[in-house]
Amino acid sequence: MGFLEKQTDPTTPMHWRGDMQADYFYPSGIAGDKFFRHIMENDTFLATKCSKCNKVLFPPRLYCEDCFEEIQEMDWIEVPSTGTVKLYTVVTINAHGKKLEKPRVIAFIDIDKTNGALLGVIRTNDFNKDFLGTKVKAIFKQKGNREGTLKDILYWE
Partner 1 sequence: MEKEKKSWPPYAPGTHVKESDIREKKLTYTWWEPEVQYSWSLGHAMSKFIQGLKTGKIYGIHCKRCKRVIVPPRMFCEYCFGPTDEWVELKDTGVIETFSISYLDPDARRIEEPILVGVVSIDGASPKHGFMHYFGEMTKDEIKIGMKVKAVWKPENEREGSITDIKYFKPLKGGDD
Measured from the CB of residue 18, what is the shortest distance to partner 1 in angstroms? 6
68 binds partner 1 (CB under 8 A): yes
Q: In what helix (H) or strand (E) does residue 137 lie, and over which residues does it extend?
A: strand 135-140
Binding mask 22-51 for partner 1 (x = CB under 8 A): xxxxxxxxx-xx--xx--------------
Q: Which residues touch 106 (CB under 8 Å, ≥6 apart)? A: 88, 89, 91, 119, 120, 121, 122
Measured from the CB of residue 52, what is the shortest distance to partner 1 in angstroms? 11
CB 113 within 8 A of CB 48: no
Find the angle CA(92)-CA(94)-CA(96) to the nearest 5 degrees: 135
19 binds partner 1 (CB under 8 A): yes
> How many binding residues for partner 1 (CB under 8 A)?
37
Within 118-157, the residues that bind partner 1 by CB under 8 A are 148-150
90 binds partner 1 (CB under 8 A): no
Stretch of 17-25, 76-84, 106-114, 128-136 contacting partner 1, by CB under 8 A = 17-25
For strand 153-156 and strand 135-140, is the pairing parallel, antiparallel, or unpaired? antiparallel
CB 109 within 8 A of CB 88: no
Which of 63, 76, 140, 155 lies at the binding interface for partner 1 (CB under 8 A)? 63
Residue 38's φ and ψ, nearest 5 degrees, are -70, -45
- Residues at the interface with partner 1 (CB under 8 A): 1-4, 7, 12-30, 32-33, 36-37, 62-63, 68-70, 96, 148-150
